[in-house]
């Protein structure tokens, strides 16, 4: 400052230079970036317009196809047509077709019998007896459902339907910049919108089909309709929007004009677009050359009913008006930047007077901000500490809940072997005299007592997350043992037991006694669900190198969907005297073995449980 009144002139000059030079650089860079953004924006809008126009054109083409199909279906519903076809009355058939088709303007209209053989052609009455069953729309109609789609016909095929069609289909090829070279001079094939409808007899059976087609080659009316729909108000002459229907890479119906202002029918698609649309079957929505004119183009492949690409649909927006708009915007932007530069020079002269004050204010704000950042950091650290403590507490709660569930499961699983022990003990008490040498039941009691000890020890080991007693064993002997002894707990007189696991050798790796608990639980549940009558199927399946599965299926009442989601929830049961722990403990054991239990059930048609375990490692 000078005398507290104004700024130092040298400071003002330095401020002007140091401000103006970066400003001019920034303005120049901004101009260049702005030009690119404007170009991208214009191109994006044009491409979006082309994309929307392509959708509209595709809908119109589909609408034409639907109208063709509706007309054919309407004619095919005539009772007289079905009777004439069934009776073989060709004159009556011809009269009805002429009467019903009226002035619909079909390129051809033919009737085939239920074997696909042509009975009558409206446009070629002398030609009959050949088959059209190889055409998918006709095959669909003979199967009882309407068929429609784009169909490509050779001159011979089209001539059979209508002798005038080969001449109407012919498109002479014209020179086409950017198109691949070719030795062809004309496109003789025809692209048709086709539809077929079944002709039903009085008994509802298919007695034949009606097949009609509309030629797209040289169909200027359809191309004009598409163009009028996408561009109701055309731009200036020579820059208007256009539409084209391609057969392969040849324009067969178009509103694109050549340099003489004539329709460019017979010109061809550029090589770049043909590779994407015709060969790869993908959409093209990007700038492309249409003859010699750059255009924001949108192409979509046209497919026949078998999914083969037979042509393309095109709409385009000329690029030239957008280029002119870009230059206009650039000039406006340049004038704006110049004005902003002059304004910046004027404003810079006043910045010196406020610079010192602003620096003091910024320093104070920085100090305040730093203090707020430190305070906020302390608050976040405190919240993070509390969050970690909460996570630890939650983990402890989950472990306690799991231990409680497993401990309750121990008491539940003791009931099954304990019932066997009690039954055999009672038999011994009532039937064995003192000193008897019948030791089989005593051996059974000892085996089941040992099993009880192993079950309790195994579950408590799971609760403590100790190591399991892992071994490898065949599934079949274990399942045989379970099924042989299960009759001590539930009667099997009315149950047909299918042991399907013997056909597939299945090697398991895990704690044998824990898996015994799982399989016993599932088999007992299946028997209880069938209430003494039905079929119990126990099977095994092996996916080499991946998984092994043991399946238990029953023919009981099945499981309701709302119950299936809660099957493995502790204490959930549908049994009157159940505890709801059997499936929960089984799920915990299988999960501890790295596996899962899959449940499939249809109410009223039984249930199927599959224990899926990892295959033993080599």
**Structure confidence by residue, pLDDT tens digits, 275-315:** 999 999 999 988 887 877 778 889 999 999 999 999 999 99
Six-digit token string for 23: 């400003």
Does residue 461 sit within a domain? no
CA gap 607, 555 in Å, rounded: 7
> Quick one: average pLDDT of 77-102?
81
Does residue 35 sit within a domain? no
pLDDT band, residue 528 (cuts 50/70/90): confident
3-state secondary structure 430-479: HHCCCCCCCCHHHHHHHHHHHHHHHHHHHHHHHHHCCCCCEEEEEHHHHH
* 1, pLDDT greater than 50: no
DSSP string, 573-610: --SSS--S-HHHHHHHHHHHTT-EEEEEE-TTS-EEEE
Does residue 181 sit within a domain? yes
CA gap 37, 50 in Å, rounded: 19
Does residue 205 sit within a domain? yes
Does residue 74 sit within a domain? yes
Does residue 555 sit within a domain? yes
Question: What mean pLDDT is reported for the chain?
Answer: 81
Which of the residue ranges 14-23, 102-111, 608-617 would you say has the lowest mean pLDDT?
14-23
CA gap 495, 22 in Å, rounded: 93
φ, ψ (nearest 5 deg) of residue 258: -85, -170
- The whole-angstrom distance between residue 450's C-alpha and the CA centroid of its chain comes to 55
Domain count, the chain: 2
Q: Are 38 and 330 in contact (CB under 8 A)?
A: yes
In three-state secondary structure terms, 342 is helix
Does residue 463 sit within a domain? no
Single out the residue in 300, 318, 336 at which a domain terminates.
318
> Quick one: average pLDDT of 410-432?
61
Q: How many of the other CB atoms lie within 10 Å of CB of 11? A: 14
Residue with tokens 């100090």: 367
Single out the residue in 318, 351, 381 at which a domain terminates.
318
Predicted TM-score (pTM) of this structure: 0.51
**Structure confidence by residue, pLDDT tens digits, 426-464:** 566 466 566 666 656 666 675 666 556 555 554 554 454
Among 194, 227, 223, 224, residue whose Cα is nearest residue 211: 194
> Quick one: average pLDDT of 500-506?
86
CA gap 593, 457 in Å, rounded: 16
Distances (CA, A) of 301 to 314, 365, 422, 519, 571: 9, 63, 79, 58, 60
**Structure confidence by residue, pLDDT tens digits, 112-149:** 999 999 999 988 999 999 999 999 999 999 999 999 99
Q: Are 568 and 583 in contact (CB under 8 A)?
A: yes
| Structural domain harbouring 77 | 53-318
CA dihedral 354, 355, 357, 360 (to 10 degrees): 160
In three-state secondary structure terms, 613 is strand
Residue with tokens 């509103």: 255
**Structure confidence by residue, pLDDT tens digits, 220-262:** 999 999 988 887 765 444 446 889 999 999 999 998 988 888 8
DSSP string, 266-279: T-B--HHHHIIIII
Does residue 91 sit within a domain? yes
CA gap 203, 491 in Å, rounded: 56
**330 against 485, higher pLDDT:** 485
In terms of phi and psi (left: phi > 0; alpha: psi -120 to 50; beta: otherwise), the region of 599 is beta
CA gap 378, 227 in Å, rounded: 67
CA-CA-CA-CA torsion sign (234, 235, 239, 241): negative
Segment holding 561, helix H or strand E: helix 561-564
Six-digit token string for 469: 């007693």
Tell me, what CATH number does 516's domain have?
Answer: 3.30.565.10
Six-digit token string for 519: 């399989």
DSSP string, 487-516: GGTS--TTEEEEEGGGGS--EEEEEHHHHH
Tell me, what CATH number does 290's domain have?
Answer: 3.30.450.20
Single out the residue in 318, 343, 373 at which a domain terminates.
318
CA gap 224, 244 in Å, rounded: 9
């Amino acid at each position: 400052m000078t005398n507290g009144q104004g700024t130092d002139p040298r400071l003002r000059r330095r401020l002007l230079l140091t401000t103006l030079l970066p400003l001019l650089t920034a303005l120049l860079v901004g101009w260049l970036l702005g030009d690119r953004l404007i170009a991208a924006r214009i191109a994006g809008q044009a491409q979006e317009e082309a994309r929307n126009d392509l959708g509209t054109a595709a809908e119109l083409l589909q609408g034409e196809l639907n109208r063709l199909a509706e007309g054919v279906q309407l004619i095919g519903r005539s009772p007289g047509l079905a009777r004439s076809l069934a009776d073989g009355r060709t004159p009556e058939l011809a009269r009805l077709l002429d009467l019903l088709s009226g002035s619909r303007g079909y390129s051809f209209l033919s009737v085939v019998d239920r074997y696909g053989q042509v009975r009558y052609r409206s446009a070629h009455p002398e030609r009959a007896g050949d088959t059209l069953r190889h055409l998918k729309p006709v095959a669909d109609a003979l199967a009882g459902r309407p068929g429609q789609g784009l169909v490509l016909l050779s001159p011979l095929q089209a001539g059979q339907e209508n002798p005038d069609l080969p001449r109407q289909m012919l498109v002479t090829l014209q020179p086409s910049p950017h198109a691949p070279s070719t030795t062809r001079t004309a496109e003789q094939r025809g692209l048709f919108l086709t539809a077929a409808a079944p002709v039903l007899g009085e008994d509802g059976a298919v007695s034949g089909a009606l097949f009609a087609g509309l030629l797209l080659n040289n169909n200027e009316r359809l191309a004009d309709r598409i163009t009028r729909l996408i561009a109701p108000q055309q731009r200036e002459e020579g820059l208007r929007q256009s539409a084209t229907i391609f057969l392969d890479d040849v324009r067969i119906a178009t509103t694109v004009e050549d340099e003489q202002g004539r329709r460019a029918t017979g010109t061809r698609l550029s090589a770049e677009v043909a590779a994407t649309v015709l060969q790869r079957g993908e959409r093209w929505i990007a700038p492309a050359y249409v003859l010699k004119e750059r255009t924001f183009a949108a192409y979509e492949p046209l497919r026949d009913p078998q999914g083969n690409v037979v042509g393309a649909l095109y709409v385009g927006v000329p690029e030239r008006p957008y280029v002119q708009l870009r230059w206009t915007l650039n000039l406006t932007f340049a004038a704006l930047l110049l004005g902003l530069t002059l304004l910046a020079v004027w404003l810079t002269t006043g910045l010196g007077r406020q610079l010192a004050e602003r620096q003091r204010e910024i320093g104070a704000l920085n100090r305040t901000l730093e203090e707020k950042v430190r305070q906020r950091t302390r608050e976040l650290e405190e919240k993070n500490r509390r969050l970690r403590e909460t996570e630890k507490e939650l983990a402890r709660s989950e472990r306690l809940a799991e231990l409680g569930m497993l401990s309750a499961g121990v008491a539940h699983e003791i009931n099954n072997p304990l019932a066997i022990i009690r039954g055999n003990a009672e038999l011994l008490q009532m039937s064995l005299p003192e000193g008897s040498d019948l030791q089989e039941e005593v051996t059974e009691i000892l085996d089941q007592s040992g099993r009880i000890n192993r079950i309790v020890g195994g579950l408590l080991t799971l609760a403590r997350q100790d190591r399991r007693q892992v071994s490898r064993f065949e599934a079949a002997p274990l399942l045989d043992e379970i099924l042989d002894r299960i009759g001590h707990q539930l009667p099997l007189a009315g149950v047909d037991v299918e042991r399907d696991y013997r056909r597939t050798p299945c090697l398991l790796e895990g704690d044998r006694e824990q898996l015994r608990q799982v399989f016993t639980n599932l088999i007992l549940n299946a028997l209880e669900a069938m209430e003494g009558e039905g079929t119990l199927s126990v099977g095994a399946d092996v996916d080499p190198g991946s998984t092994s599965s043991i399946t238990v299926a029953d023919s009981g009442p099945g499981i309701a969907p709302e119950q299936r989601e809660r099957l493995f929830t502790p204490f959930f049961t549908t049994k009157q005297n159940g505890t709801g722990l059997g499936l929960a403990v089984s799920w915990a054991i299988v999960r501890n073995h790295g596996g899962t239990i899959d449940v499939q059930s249809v109410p009223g048609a039984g249930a199927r449980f599959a224990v899926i375990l990892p295959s033993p490692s080599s």
